[in-house]
Amino acid sequence: MMSPVLNVSAYRFVPLDALERRRQALHESAAAAGLKGTVLLAEEGINLVLAGEPGGVRAFLDELRADPPFTGLPVKESWSDVLPFQRLKVKVKREIIRMNMPAIRPGLARAPSVAPATLARWLATGRDDAGRPVVTLDTRNAFEVDAGAFEGAVDWRLHRFSDFPQALAAHREELQDKTVVSYCTGGIRCEKAALLMQAMGLDHSYQLEGGILKYFEETEGAPHWRGGCFVFDEREQLASDLAPTP
């Protein structure tokens, strides 16, 4: 039997204006639908994690997608027995994911991505389709990595995502001449990470399309994932079938 609460996460890097007007409208729409969670808006785009009764969630998403910057916004779904959020927050921020690198603008140019099925195939042999060695690079915080990660992933023990540029500069030579696939929970951090890697001369760098959650959805994590996936809500951790861990 399907759990009664629909959880959705989504983001899009797209230039936005009228942020306060959008914030008020989205808060009213989400509140009217009975949703809980967080929506972040910035000039660079939108980032959201919301949960509620399925009809309310889908009605909110339909209204959101009617706004041209969010047309066709892809959403990752999972289910739970209870609401994993206590309240609704809709905020305007400087960045929807903080990196402190204003020159990195995914809304203007996107780094190449690799589909979950393709990454799984590469990991099975350890090489990409051109024969280059493949490594996965975890862009999440250390405590998130500790909950679960790709087997053998590069982990720089980041305290926060804004530490990533400095860590990349220190370790860039170790990644040279390899195919590097950066990954994170839902893909938002990788959007910036992969662009920065390319800007620093790592030509064979990619982002995992849709992040860990999409990888779970399309491959169920097997056989290259170890552990669960930390999420920033009361579920705390999801298994590879996208269900909360016991």
Is 229 one of the annotated active-site residues of the chain?
no
CB atoms within 10 A of CB 180: 25
Q: What is the largest CA-CA distance in the chain?
A: 53
Comparing C-alpha atoms, which of 143, 158, 155, 164 is closest to residue 229?
143
What's the CA gap between 101 and 103, in Å, rounded? 5
Residue showing tokens 């927050």: 89
Q: Say which residues have a Cβ less than 8 Å from residue 47's Cβ, sequence separation at least 6.
A: 10, 11, 39, 40, 96, 97, 188
Which of 184, 195, 213, 229 is an active site residue? 184
Cis ω before 15 (30° cut-off from 0): no
Q: Say which residues have a Cβ less than 8 Å from residue 123's Cβ, sequence separation at least 6.
A: 134, 136, 150, 151, 224
Q: Residue 123 corresponds to which tokens in the numbers above?
A: 């990991």
What's the CA gap between 170 and 164, in Å, rounded? 10
Catalytic positions, written as ranges: 184
